[in-house]
Structure 1
């Protein structure tokens, strides 16, 4: 789930928390008086004795018995949703090990990173591929390969994908003793800088 959207959200949340934390720190240490600057008039923390909610704000809805339970419940849901989202970022679907049949009735463990390194090396050696990256993930309990390929300008994408499927992916599948190895390939064109010829 580590997508660009998640990274942007992480950045924005971190920026907001940093600004709020520094502002609270400035107010609590009374730095604006010591360093002779002013906070915006709407900011609640202007000195070490200030609080987030004034007495008027805390007691305004006291007659409404539903107000504070709703606020506390909403904050609790927000905290739980934030914790769930944070845990989802740390979870990885990367496949660490593959159990393969060694042919003598027992099994052996094959490291996922070893398969990734072989996929990367064989993909980079393929004609038309300048660079490659591979990742082995698990989806619904089954291994899948994800390839990221930088193609040379002369490469035909269909031929490269078909060739990798027939050679590289098939070799990895049979080596790991898998019936199938679904593979997703993402292709990028490699751009070279123009060189002046004299």
Structure 2
């Protein structure tokens, strides 16, 4: 639901900015004179000599020294929020639930956070793993996982990967009744700082 609302809002903002920019471009390039059409009476940019803010608009609040810095600050905050919103679209979001086929035609929903926690807890119990972080991505019907493991200095990375794939992820696939569970694993070694002993 949230993704759908997000897309609709992005589409509306994009259409509005496209219409505004196109109208300003038509006026700035004097396209209505060249192509022989008229802009609506309420549209402020009708020719190349029209400006976004006329002399009256610039001098109306001149006696208030805080006005223009406040306008610029608000516009900068709006720009930063829109930029953050745009960049957030490219991030992979956490999967909220997984659809489980129960063979009765109805199906069931498995909480994504619960599955992440179960995989993380079982991964952390593996020999040589000091910490595990799991994130579900993909679609509800075809989930994928991203696993980050912190390994102790004595851990064997190949053995940790074998146990993760053959035991932990196999349990997760079986419990969610998934045919496959593509996984990206990142391994990092725990760095212990040296302590002086006196």
**TM-score range relative to shorter protein:** 0.5 to 0.7
**1: CA distance, partners of 2:114 / 2:102:** 17
Structure 1: runs of 5 or more not aligned: 1-26, 31-44, 53-78
Q: CA deviation at 1:107?
A: 1.1
Whether 1:29 and 2:28 are equivalent positions in the alignment is no
Residue aligning to 1:89: 88
**2: CA distance, partners of 1:173 / 1:140:** 14
Specify whether residues 125 and 140 from structure 1 end up closer, same or farther in structure 2 by C-alpha distance, changes over 3 A only: closer
Q: What TM-score, normalized by structure 2, do the two folds share?
A: 0.55
**1: CA distance, partners of 2:170 / 2:176:** 10
**1: CA distance, partners of 2:82 / 2:179:** 38
**2: CA distance, partners of 1:149 / 1:188:** 6
Q: What are the within-5 Å matches in structure 2 for residues 165-176 of structure 1?
A: 165-176=165-176
CA RMSD in angstroms comes to: 3.1
Residue aligning to 1:106: 106
**2: CA distance, partners of 1:86 / 1:104:** 41
Structure 2: runs of 5 or more not aligned: 1-63, 73-78
Q: CA deviation at 1:29?
A: 3.2
Provide runs of 4+ in structure 1 moved above 4 Å: 82-85
Residue pair 1:101, 1:177 contacting (<8 A) in 2 also: yes
Residue aligning to 1:64: none
**2: CA distance, partners of 1:191 / 1:99:** 39
Specify whether residues 134 and 191 from structure 1 end up closer, same or farther in structure 2 by C-alpha distance, changes over 3 A only: same
What are the superposed Cα offsets for residues 3-35 of structure 1, whole Å, 9 maximum, x if unpaired? xxxxxxxxxxxxxxxxxxxxxxxx9339xxxxx
Whether 1:132 and 2:132 are equivalent positions in the alignment is yes
**2: CA distance, partners of 1:166 / 1:186:** 17
Q: What TM-score, normalized by structure 1, do the two folds share?
A: 0.55
**1: CA distance, partners of 2:140 / 2:98:** 15
Residue pair 1:93, 1:139 contacting (<8 A) in 2 also: no
Q: CA deviation at 1:85?
A: 6.4
